[in-house]
Amino acid sequence: MQHLVDTDQFSLAQIAQIIEDANTFKLKRPPLLLRDKVIVTLFFEKSTRTRSSFEIAGKRLGAAMVLFDPSRSSTGKGETLEDTFATLCAMEPDAVIVRHSENSTPQMLADMQVTPVINAGAGNYAHPTQALLDYFTILEHFDGEPRGKTLAIVGDVVSSRVASSGIRLFMRMGLNVILVAPPQFMPELDLPKYTSLDEVLDRVDVIMSLRAQLERHEVPHFDNYEAYASQYCITEERLGSRDILVMHPGPVMRNIDISDAVLEDPRCKVLEQVKNGVYVRMAILKLLLLDA
């Protein structure tokens, strides 16, 4: 039984397989490879992209998707997470896709070893399918040769599971990662760190902008985000004519993370990331439910 808690559980050969399958699926819709499979999504946090993307990916491959809604479940009667998971697994689904606010939840459920667990985002620790779809988007942009490119992660890095998983994957795949953030948003990681975005723009190939994750802040870090945006928002004025790939995992705080104009700029691939997410998640489901 193979789980996906973070991307380091995948070998380089498996990552290459995911990329190859996602490319194939993007070119031509595949047959219903998972038509006898049942997949449960178990999201204890809000989601637009990841949950719908997994649902569409599963359906494109013919799987039946069961969407478990904690707000309408016996969680409200005090049932624990472990008992909820064990109950769902007793119905013998082929995988459970889980999102949770606690960093340790996907591993804890995986350790129960009853059903494959796929992490759809846990705390600020890991969001492996986002990292893989981001890597796929970077690979596409650089025609398969992103090694040695410099990627700046800009914004609320310390709160971000997208950043955590991305940093581990991108560095493993040979990219240079730098962090750009105000002190409040900077994690204690051994990576090049900058407070000024303007200072690094001439030497970055990719910007991954991040949302300030207000829901994870115990105290407000800024009284207003206009002052923050004046330094960290990705604007046309800031980018100039530089050939920089602009990414964001979403949801985007418009004109704080990225300006309206840049969201319309061909250098900005936010919706391409979303599109690629379906193909990459199809490839991940194939790998875990069929190949592994």
| Segment holding 64, helix H or strand E | strand 64-68
Question: Residues 287, 288, 289, 292: is their CA dihedral positive or negative?
Answer: positive
User: Cα separation of 64 and 81, whole Å?
Assistant: 23
> In a 3-state reduction of DSSP, which class is residue 277?
helix
Among 93, 106, 116, 121, binds ligand CP (CB under 6 A): 121
- The residue among 33 and 270 lying less far from ligand CP, judged by its C-beta, is 270
Question: Residues 50, 283, 276, 111: is their CA dihedral positive or negative?
Answer: positive
Please state, as a whole number, how many other Cβ atoms lie within 10 Å of the Cβ of residue 159. 23
User: Taking the complex as a whole, how short is the minimal distance between the CB of residue 53 and ligand CP, in angstroms?
Assistant: 8
- The residue among 163 and 181 lying less far from ligand CP, judged by its C-beta, is 163
User: Taking the complex as a whole, how short is the minimal distance between the CB of residue 272 and ligand CP, in angstroms?
Assistant: 14
- The residue among 119 and 259 lying less far from ligand CP, judged by its C-beta, is 119
| Segment holding 87, helix H or strand E | helix 81-90
Among 14, 124, 130, 137, binds ligand CP (CB under 6 A): 130
Counting contacts by CB under 6 A, is residue 48 touching ligand CP? yes
User: Taking the complex as a whole, how short is the minimal distance between the CB of residue 148 and ligand CP, in angstroms?
Assistant: 26
Counting contacts by CB under 6 A, is residue 37 touching ligand CP? no
Distance separating the N- and C-terminal Cα atoms of the chain:
8
Give the list of residues 6+ apart from residue 166 with CB closer than 8 angstroms, or none.
130, 131, 134, 135, 153, 177, 208
Among 14, 41, 50, 160, binds ligand CP (CB under 6 A): 50
Which range of residues in 42-50, 60-68, 169-177, 193-201 is near ligand CP by CB under 6 A? 42-50
Which residues is 151 bridged to in the sheet?
Answer: 177, 206
- The residue among 33 and 44 lying less far from ligand CP, judged by its C-beta, is 44
Among residue numbers 224 through 253, which ones bind ligand CP (CB under 6 A)?
249-251
Counting contacts by CB under 6 A, is residue 49 touching ligand CP? yes
User: Taking the complex as a whole, how short is the minimal distance between the CB of residue 8 and ligand CP, in angstroms?
Assistant: 19
- The residue among 47 and 235 lying less far from ligand CP, judged by its C-beta, is 47
Give the list of residues 6+ apart from residue 146 with CB closer than 8 angstroms, or none.
138, 139, 173, 174, 175
Nearest CA to 70 out of 40, 38, 34, 37 is that of 40
Strands, sheet with 117-122, edge to edge from the N-terminal-most edge strand: 64-68, 38-43, 95-100, 117-122
Counting contacts by CB under 6 A, is residue 47 touching ligand CP? yes
User: Taking the complex as a whole, how short is the minimal distance between the CB of residue 217 and ligand CP, in angstroms?
Assistant: 17
- The residue among 242 and 254 lying less far from ligand CP, judged by its C-beta, is 254
User: Taking the complex as a whole, how short is the minimal distance between the CB of residue 120 and ligand CP, in angstroms?
Assistant: 7
Write out the residues near ligand CP by the rule CB under 6 A.
Answer: 47-50, 121, 127, 130, 249-251
